[in-house]
Amino acid sequence: MSAKSIKSLLVAVLSTFLVLFSANVKAQHEEHKTAEAHHEAKEEGFNAKKVIFGHIMDAHEFHFLSYKGSDGEHHAISIPLPVILYSPQKGLTTFNASKFGHHGENEVEGYKLNEDGKVISVDPSVVVYDFSLTRNVVQMLLALTLLCWLMISVAKAYGKGQGVTSAPKGKQNLVEVLVAFVRDEVAKPNLGHKVNKYLPYLLTVFFFILINNVIGLIPGTANVTGNIAFTAILGVISFVVIMASSNGHYWGHIFNPPGVPLGVKFILVPVEFLSVFIKPFALIIRLFANMVAGHIIIICLISMIFIFAEKINGGAGWGVSPVSLAFTIFIYFIEVLVAFLQAFIFTMLTAVFIGQAFEGEHHGEEGAAAHH
């Protein structure tokens, strides 16, 4: 009986302990959740993720900076862009993007901005088509205008004899060096006798990417070449040019590789066929990833100042700022190099792929010329 009594007592003590322990854990968990909620509410001051994606994503304004006014409110220095919407139910609607408010909190004529900054209808049953001039579109048009002005002005200078009978001057110097570089180092080694046929396209791609890369380094501007839609269009155009340049020899090497055992062909042919589509995809991803990565690194380095100041104290923010700014300047100069490098790589790979498409024809013509 005594053993049973001791056993019952131990069970009772253990049960009481478990109940109290679980209650204590539950209370601590609730307290922890409350502290987390309070902590999250407090952290709304600086959101690095929002700043980073706000810079690399498209938007309806050119945002330069924000400041806290004497009224205690945050004000933004920005250039709002026109919003152009069409709905089959509501027709055409146009207004200035500033009507959405600084944080996109306002509804305008039944439309609002979602978390990604895209215009949607307040009424889910209303279909809306967005034809707005976003900052990527505006900046791309500005880059195109700048490219046309640059090339036309240089062509006019050559037409007047400058650079032909005399030394080139001003912007003609820079353009001539870059044109000669693309012609001699990119086009001629890969395209051979067809260099003049494809050189205008290669020069257009090179200068258009370069101008957009350089403009994107100016604070407040859009990172156009870091937009997957922009690089996808360039990749698709290159794919069309490559396919239009291909011949029977090119496709013969893909579907019937010479000198390869039959058993291996069943593996090699699908790989070669997929490579036709992988090549332009590589062009798209390479340019997009490199231009996005540089901008993200720069913004992350700058964000460290505000993160240290908010998480620790203001002194920590001031303390880390010299290191953060030094690394930012270093990366910024690297990005200037990357702007030229990525324009060169995209143009070079495009020329290589085009040259591969008519390689058999090229060698055939050379062989025929050598034979004669």
Whether 208 contacts 215, CB under 8 Å = no
For residue 277, is pLDDT > 70?
A: yes
Output the pLDDT for position 35: 44
Q: What's the pTM?
A: 0.78
Distance CA 43, CA 35 (A): 12
Distance CA 48, CA 64 (A): 16
Q: In the predicted model, what is the mean pLDDT of residues 60-70? A: 76
Looking at this protein, which amino acid is placed at residue 50?
Answer: K
The number of angstroms, rounded, from the C-alpha of 171 to the middle of its chain's C-alpha atoms is 29
Question: Tell me: the pLDDT tens digits for 27-60?
Answer: 444 444 444 444 443 445 667 677 777 777 888 8
Output the pLDDT for position 39: 43
**DSSP class of 193:** G
Question: Tell me: the pLDDT tens digits for 342-363?
Answer: 999 999 999 999 998 887 654 4
- Per domain, the residue ranges of the chain are 65-130, 135-371
Question: Tell me: the pLDDT tens digits for 195-247?
Answer: 999 999 999 999 999 999 999 888 888 889 988 999 999 999 999 999 998 88
Looking at this protein, which amino acid is placed at residue 256?
Answer: N
Distance CA 333, CA 325 (A): 12
Could you tell me where the DSSP H helices lie in 101-194?
A: 135-159, 171-181, 188-191
Output the pLDDT for position 220: 82
Position 341 confidence tier, pLDDT thresholds 50, 70, 90? very high
Output the pLDDT for position 209: 95
Distance CA 316, CA 252 (A): 65
Percentage of the chain exceeding pLDDT 70: 82
Distance CA 113, CA 5 (A): 71
Q: Among 126, 117, 131, which Cα is nearest to 109's?
A: 126
Distance CA 14, CA 37 (A): 34
Q: Among 230, 241, 226, 228, which Cα is nearest to 279's?
A: 241
Position 21 confidence tier, pLDDT thresholds 50, 70, 90? very low
Classify the C-alpha dihedral 350-355-357-358 as positive or negative.
Answer: positive
Position 370 confidence tier, pLDDT thresholds 50, 70, 90? very low
Looking at this protein, which amino acid is placed at residue 325?
Answer: L
Structure tokens of 103?
A: 């944080």
Output the pLDDT for position 361: 57
Output the pLDDT for position 344: 95
For residue 144, is pLDDT > 60?
A: yes
Whether 347 contacts 199, CB under 8 Å = no
Output the pLDDT for position 360: 61
**What 3-state class would DSSP assign to 120?**
strand
Output the pLDDT for position 61: 84
Residue 80's contacts (CB-CB under 8 Å, 6 or more residues apart) are 60, 61, 96, 97, 98
For residue 364, is pLDDT > 80?
A: no
Distance CA 127, CA 91 (A): 10
